[in-house]
Amino acid sequence: MSVPSPCINICRMSAETGLCEGCQRTMDEIACWSRSSDAERRAILALVARRRERLPAARATAEGAAR
């Protein structure tokens, strides 16, 4: 089974952080997602999880999209 994308269809790049405001990935991570292996995708998701812990606004966005 393929690792699902963290995209939540809130696709805006933050000038402040350089991250997508919805999924907390960098532009490079978004661009390479479709050709990444499952191991690479899991590594990106681990980075996203750490970013969400550090950025309160990212946590709120992710929690709101999950509802």
Which tokens go with 49? 């999880």
The string of pLDDT tens digits covering residues 52-67 is 998 876 556 666 666 5
- Confirm whether 49 is domain-assigned: yes
Q: How many domains does the chain have?
A: 1
- Confirm whether 1 is domain-assigned: no
Residue 62's pLDDT is 63
User: Which residue range(s) make up the domain with 32?
Assistant: 13-54
The H-or-E segment that residue 66 falls in is helix 56-66
- Confirm whether 7 is domain-assigned: no
- The model's pTM: 0.80
- Confirm whether 34 is domain-assigned: yes
Report residue 3's pLDDT band, with 50, 70 and 90 as the boundaries. very high
- Confirm whether 22 is domain-assigned: yes
Residue 1's pLDDT is 72
Closest to 6 measured CA to CA, from 18, 43, 16, 14: 43
Assign residue 3 a region: left if phi > 0, alpha if psi is -120 to 50, beta otherwise?
Answer: beta
